[in-house]
Structure 1
Amino acid sequence: MTADRLLRASAEHSYDPDVEIDWDAPLADDLYFVPPHRSSLYGTPLWDALSEQQRITLTRHEASSIAGLGIWFETILMQLLIRSYYRDDPTTASSQYALTEVADECRHSVMFGRMIDKLDTPVYRPDGVNAALGKWIAATGTGPRMYAAILICEEILDTLQREAMVSEQVQPLVRMVSRVHVVEEARHVRFARDELASSVRAAGRARLAFDKVVIGRAAYLCGTRLIHPAVYRSVGIDPAAGRRAAWANPHYRETLRWAGERVVAYLSSLDLVAGPLWRMSGLLPLLDR
């Protein structure tokens, strides 16, 4: 059973960020915080006009934005898993793994918070309507919409971090944070994929029709708020102008498509990708938009 295997893997391969990461090591002056070709402005006239240090500063804030979104989603995920555990039989491997994942996510959120503090940036996270929708899904999410929303954010961050953790252009701190998260997140993705497939099989047509709308909204949020517009202020660019340039940037649009490729393929195999919000998210291949 998947949950049994994941419990064993968690016991054998879990990490303590306090031990694994050298939080006191200074940041390198000449290294980026995300691979430069993944910066939202890479290849645009705005990017060309920035100095090397400004480009590094921009990626510093972009890395913080990604971490802030990760914390926000993980906090929602922990609430969903606790609610699920409250309803379930605590003697089953599935419910015990859900609680084990909560412990993992607690460490991850602390790790991301410490990284943001070390980067000395604002805390970037969803606000307004997105924040309200986050509260709603944390309080009500079950079944397909719960696990699909989890997967969208988890797999996009996982793809970005798998590249960052091996890039010699990226700060050692960011590489180590990425490595710790990738190793443990692989288990979470496996669990969520299995639970999602089971919940889709059990759901009725009306339930799936509603959940597809919620799933599309989660995809739209993750695609459009992975990089918070306020990050552009760090290099003297108006947030609205920066967002327009990023959204029109073919390099960044390809990064979004690439980051979402695995999860889009999996959700498509379950017939969960549909509607205009998906097309507006930036996560679909160009021909499908």
Structure 2
Amino acid sequence: MPEPEDSATLYGQLLESARRLSFDLRDCEAGTGTDTDRHGMTPEWSPLYGTPMWIRMSEPERRRLTRREVSHFLGVAIWLEVALQIVLLRRNHSVDPTRADVKFLFNECADENMHSLMFVGAIEQLGERYSPLDRVMLLMGWVFRTFAWNEVAYGIVLAGEEVFDVMQRDWSIDERVAPAVRRSSYVHVVEESRHMSFARQKMRDHLREVSRVRRYVSAVLIAVGAHIIAKGLVNKAIYRDLGLDWRAAKLDIDRNEHHRMMFRRATAPLVEFLDREGLLNGVARTIYRKSNLL
């Protein structure tokens, strides 16, 4: 089925933008030594920022915490990008490869692989390691890449990309943050802006003729996916690895209004888009509130 004319025009524009404004990431793939003297991310994005536990920490301990946290955040980003490629390539395996949207998809997958290598390089330069995801995220990742249909796949990935976009805009300009993270954040923000435009348009295309029931179910599933991503960014293993009392840390995070405010800020563009497209029903709103995203 051919794409609507307005959609095909946008996909062509995005592909042209990719030709003009893409980065050579080969220099970002591998670390050139470690940087353990700076924060891994803007401190205000730490789930513990401003809590009693944070206040009791020394500045070196806070820097180590944010390096450990951002290494996990970047691991979640890699997990999400790999899952996206599996879903989209599977769904476009036998379609016309000369279509504008398919050509952009190929370009996007190339970007995503380079972004993953870039994030691995940043983790290594921080002197940290990859934190294995918990079992719930691993299970939901399998469900997502196996069963997610069109607007659900794009919607869940868009939720993750919107959160990272807002966070990384801050990280990219913060002198307190290690250069490897600042650089990778800047590149990711620039190149993911095209990917997010692509995802929004693909969702609009797929939603044009869906039934009210399917739209309702899709809205709820996108909210569930966003909830899993948001909650998955807080991993008890990284706090235990640092010798912190996980129960006390979790209590502080759960009570941290600053943390909730930052994540509501991060998802504001997503919520506005979903509301405009009829993907923010009562059940979905409840899930977003439980995720501190609304």
* Pairs within 5 Å for 1:55-66: 55-66=62-73
- 2:92–2:102: 8 Å Cα contact kept in structure 1? yes
Deviates more, 1:145-154 or 1:263-272: 263-272
Q: State the partner residue of 2:4.
A: none
TM-score, normalised by the number of residues in structure 1: 0.92
> Counterpart in 1 of 2:254?
247
- For the residues of structure 2 that align with 1:111 and 1:240, how far apart are their CA atoms? 33
Structure 2 match to 1:3: 11
Structure 1 residue aligned with 2:287: 277
Structure 1 gap ranges (5+): 285-289
Match of 1:186? 193
Equivalence for 1:287: none
| CA shift for structure 1 position 22 | 7.9
Give the match for residue 205 of structure 1: 212
- Contact residue 164 and residue 170 of structure 1 kept, 8 A: yes
**What is the DSSP-based 3-state SS (H/G/I as helix, E as strand, rest coil) of the residue aligned with 1:86?**
coil
CA contact (8 A) 1:85 1:99 kept: no
In 2, Cα distance between equivalents of 1:117 and 1:93 = 37
Residue aligning to 2:22:
14
1:194 is displaced (CA, Å) by: 0.6
Query: How many residues are matched?
Result: 283
**1:216 to 1:145, Cα distance in 2 relative to 1, 3 A:** same
> Per-residue deviation at 1:67?
0.1
Aligned residues of 2:31 and 2:124 also touching (Cα < 8 A): no
Q: Spell out the pairing of 1:23-34 with structure 2 (5 A cutoff).
A: 23-24=31-32, 26-27=34-35, 29=37, 31-34=38-41
Q: Deviations over 1:53-81 (max 9, x none)?
A: 10000000111111011011001111122
**Matches of 1:21 and 1:179, distance apart in 2:** 15
| CA contact 2:34–2:125 (8 Å) conserved in 1 | no
**Structure 1 letter corresponding to 2:288:** W
User: Cα deviations across residues 89-137 of structure 1 (Å, max 9, x unaligned)?
Assistant: 2111111111111111011111112222333334235322321121111
Give the structure 1 partner of residue 268 of structure 2: 261
| Residues 257, 170 of structure 1: alpha-carbon distance in 2 compared, 3 angstrom cutoff | same
TM-score, structure 2 length as denominator?
0.91
Measure, in 1, the Cα distance between the counterparts of 2:247 and 2:132: 17
RMSD: 1.7
Matched, 1:154 2:164: no
**Residue 125 of structure 2 corresponds to residue 118 of structure 1:** yes
Q: Which residue of 1 aligns with 2:237?
A: 230
**Identity value in percent:** 33
What does residue range 60-99 of structure 1 map to in structure 2 within 5 Å? 60-99=67-106
Contact 1:32 1:169 in 2 (8 A): yes
Q: Which moved more, 1:268-277 or 1:248-257?
A: 268-277
Using the TM superposition, give the Cα deviation of residue 28 of structure 1 relative to its aligned residue in structure 2, in angstroms. Answer: 5.3
Q: Which runs of 5+ in 2 are unaligned?
A: 1-8
